[in-house]
Amino acid sequence: MAPTDRQIATLALAHALNAAERGLPVIPLNSARLPALRSPHPGGAARTACTGHCGLPGHGVRDATTDPAAVRALFAAAPDVAGYGIACGQGPHRLIGIDLDADTPGPAADASTGPAAGTGAEAHADGALRQLALQHLFTIPPTLTVLTPAGGRHLWLSVPAEVVVAGSASRLAPGVDVRGTGGYLIGPGSLTPHGTYRLAPGTAHLPPAPCPRTLLRLLAPVRPARRTGGARAPRGPEDDEGLVHFVRAARAGERHTRLFWAACRAYEHGVGDALAAALTEAAVRSGLPVHEARATLASAARLTAGRSEAA
């Protein structure tokens, strides 16, 4: 027997209260995945100008709260409750979402960027994200992941308090959308006409992982300070550590590619010999035989011979 509207709303409230207890600000959503509370401003300028300072509910994600009493009041006032949304960009987690679309064609890939990798159509967005990660030298850490009824995935990440990430659709890569500040993610347990949002197996115990710094720069780019005389920005230890970590995080099918890419970058910046031992150790820890790692480093050194930072 199908659940009644009341049972659906009660279950959604229970899930929302559980999320709020974990510090995630929530709002009620209807079956169309939209905020369930109607605006208190029927029309005119107030409808778009008011950001909630009127004190009334019905301002979308601005209503989001972690207070249990306030959550219950929002759900009690909302019609057609079928789920809940979790506000992005708000403390304490400063949540953002990487939305891997299940319907966008793109390049295939040979390894997973995280838990519960998709298959079929979803793998296209996964492949696009993996290629982006390979190009820009970052890895997606294990993190809480939500499976959508359409077959996609939402990867939950956290960002620093001073960073504002805007939402976007396929700007990063085909089929890779971003849920940022001012938006919301649909919480696991929410019901839609197409199915239920649910936690990916093996990720329920994970918190939203910190967004990798390089990915964060792509999501919220900072304009670099103007330099004079054509000088290059100095490299810091974190740049070299990033190359080593990039190699260490390689999976089967991408170990040679990652090591070669990182070694080329190191030699191009004049630190190849200094990093050779660390890169070799990282490659071996990832599963590459030591003789293959050394051969790959030698190939990178030959290819980049004569190049330098001043080139």
Residues paired with residue 52 on neighbouring β-strands, in sequence order: none
Which segment of 61-75, 213-227, 254-268 scores lowest on mean pLDDT? Answer: 213-227
Amino acid sitting at position 302: R
Work out the number of other CB atoms within 10 angstroms of the CB of residue 287.
10
Of the ranges 6-20, 233-247, 270-284, which is most confident? 6-20
Helices 255-268, 290-303: crossing angle, 10 deg rounding: 40
Residues paired with residue 29 on neighbouring β-strands, in sequence order: 35, 83
Q: Is 90 exceeded by the pLDDT of residue 123?
A: no
Work out the pLDDT band at 46, boundaries 50, 70, 90: low
Kindly report, residue by residue over 145-161, the tens digit of the pLDDT: 999 999 999 999 999 98
Q: pTM score, two decimals?
A: 0.68
Contacts of 194 (CB under 8 A, 6+ apart): 149, 150
What pLDDT shows up at residue 45?
54
Q: Which of 125, 94, 97, 95 is nearest to 109 (CA)?
A: 125
Kindly report, residue by residue over 21-36, the tens digit of the pLDDT: 999 999 999 999 999 9
φ and ψ of 62, to 5 deg: -70, -15
Span 88-220: which CATH code? Answer: 3.30.2250
Which segment of 164-168, 212-216, 227-231 scores lowest on mean pLDDT? Answer: 227-231
Q: Where in the chain is the domain with CATH 3.30.2250?
A: 88-220
What pLDDT shows up at residue 22?
92
